[in-house]
Amino acid sequence: METVNRRTTLALGITAAATPLIAWATSAPAQTYGPDEGKEIGPGVRVIDLGEGPSNIPAYKTVKLRDVVIQPGAKTPDRKMMNDMLCHMTEGELSVVQNEKKFTVKKGGVWTCSKDNITEGTQNTSNAVAIMRIIDLLTA
C-alpha cells in the first residue's frame, strides 16, 4: 500500500471538489419531440403544453408554459396576441414579423409580445426544426 501524504491528500481533495463543477458546466441536451406530440395547429406547426400554475405577479392570475415546434418552411399566421407573453428560442431560428417589423430570432434569443398591441407571425426559414418556448401571462 502506498503512503498517503499531504500532497496526495491535497490532490485528491482538489479533484473531488472540481468534479461537480465540471459536471455542472456541461450543458444538457435540448428537448426533442416526436412527430405526433402535442396538437397540430397548422401544417408543420405543433404546440406541446408543458405546464401551468398560479402567478404571484399581481397583474397575472396564471402562467402557462408551452413549446411551439415549427418545421423547416412552416409558418404561423399573423394574429393579434390574446395575452402578454415571453418567447424564447430553444432550438433553431425564426423569422418574426411584429406589427410589420421583421426580425430574426436565433437559438437563445428572447422577445416579448403584449396583449392587443401586437400582431405577430413567424416562419422557419432555416433547414432545422425551430422550437419557440412561450410563457403565457394570463389575467383570468
Name the residue ranges covered by the structural domains of the chain: 39-138
The rounded percent of the chain whose pLDDT value lies above 70 is 78
Strand partners, 113: 85
Check residue 28 and give its pLDDT: 47
Length of the chain: 140
Q: For residue range 20-59, what is the model confidence (pLDDT) as tens digits?
A: 544 455 544 556 788 889 999 999 999 999 999 999 999 9
DSSP 76-121: EEEEE-SSEEEEEEEESEEEEEETTEEEEEETT-EEEE-TTT-EEE
Give dist(CA 104, CA 6) in Å, integer: 56
Q: For residue range 112-125, what is the model confidence (pLDDT) as tens digits?
A: 999 988 899 999 99
**Architecture of the domain made up of 39-138:** Sandwich (2.60)
pTM: 0.76
